[in-house]
């Protein structure tokens, strides 16, 4: 029984890592579509979101099958619970990549606005959080998971700063309203990606430590 369970969990890990790679690539390409004004790349990201959705369903079905067949306990149970939760976060990150790509398509069809928001720091922060959360999952690294959680506030502040900047630019360049609203949406989607990365990192900590750390960083985490 144990050997069969170990084999099934190994297959599940591989499926989750494959899904993680797809999601990471989708986010990177969506960001690049915004940076380059590449409508064709944005369209590709949107179309391929269906593949991420299918993989997410398969991972969930595998988890439920293992629950039904093996009734796991202890660390195996924690692992499966964590996988079910982070699987949903990965799917949502994929959706947000599609949303960013949709905004990239909209921006590609508009004149370049007079006022430009510098998204480079926020892009870098979001990519760093995504990579860190996925590495913490792959390596089961609690230190990296904690680093991701503690990075989220900086991304939130960047989103708030972008909101203030967009308000200012709309007043200065009202003709650029449509483009600036697209940029504001991109900022909000990046902030939401950071939230889901934080969820993944928290699930890794739960998997490894057996403790729910949400809202507990002030207690020494």
Residue 57: per-residue pLDDT: 96
pLDDT at 40: 97
- Strand, coil or helix: what is 17? helix
Confidence of residue 112 (pLDDT cuts 50, 70, 90): confident
Q: How confident is the model at residue 49 (pLDDT cuts 50, 70, 90)?
A: very high
Do the Cβ atoms of 164 and 50 come closer than 8 Å? no
Class of domain 2-219: mainly alpha
Please, what is the Cα angle at 195 between 191 and 199, to 5 degrees? 165
Q: Is the pLDDT of residue 113 over 70?
A: yes
pLDDT at 174: 93
pLDDT at 3: 83
Q: What is the pLDDT of residues 64-104, one digit of tens each?
A: 999 999 988 888 888 898 899 999 999 999 999 999 999 99
pLDDT in tens, 7-32: 999 999 899 989 999 999 999 999 99
Does the structure show a pLDDT above 60 at 54? yes
pLDDT of residue 27: 94
Of residues 50 and 207, the one with the higher pLDDT is: 50
Per-residue pLDDT at 60:
95
- CA–CA separation, 7 vs 50, rounded Å? 28
pLDDT at 176: 93
Residues 139-196: tens digit of each pLDDT: 889 999 999 999 999 999 999 999 999 999 999 999 999 999 999 999 999 999 999 9
- Give domain limits for the chain: 2-219
How far apart CA 221 and CA 203 sit, in angstroms, is 14
Supply the DSSP string of 45-105, one letter for each residue: HHHHHHHHHHHHHHHHHHHHHHHHHH---HHHHHHHHHHHHHHHHHHHHHHHHHHHHHHHH
pLDDT of residue 169: 93
Provide the pLDDT confidence category of residue 59 given band limits of 50, 70 and 90.
very high
Read off the DSSP letter of residue 140. Answer: T
């Amino acid at each position: 029984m144990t050997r069969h369970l170990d084999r099934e969990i190994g297959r599940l890990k591989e499926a989750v890592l494959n899904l993680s790679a797809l999601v990471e690539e989708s986010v990177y390409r969506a960001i690049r579509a915004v940076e380059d004004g590449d409508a064709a790349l944005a369209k590709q990201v949107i179309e391929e979101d269906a593949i991420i959705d299918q993989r997410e369903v398969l991972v969930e079905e595998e988890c439920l099958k293992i629950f039904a067949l093996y009734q796991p306990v202890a660390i195996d149970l924690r692992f499966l619970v964590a996988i079910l939760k982070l699987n949903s976060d990965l799917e949502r990150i994929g959706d947000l990549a599609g949303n960013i790509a949709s905004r990239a398509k909209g921006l590609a069809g508009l004149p370049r606005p007079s006022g430009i928001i510098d998204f480079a720091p926020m892009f870098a922060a979001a990519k760093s959080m995504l990579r860190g959360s996925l590495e913490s999952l792959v390596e089961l690294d609690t230190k990296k998971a904690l680093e991701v959680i503690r990075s989220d506030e900086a991304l939130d502040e960047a989103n708030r700063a972008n909101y203030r900047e967009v308000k200012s630019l709309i007043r200065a360049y009202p003709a650029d309203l449509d483009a600036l609203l697209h940029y504001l949406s991109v900022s909000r989607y990046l902030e939401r990606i950071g939230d889901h990365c934080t969820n993944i990192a928290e699930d890794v900590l739960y998997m490894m430590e057996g403790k729910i750390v949400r809202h507990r960083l002030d207690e020494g985490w």
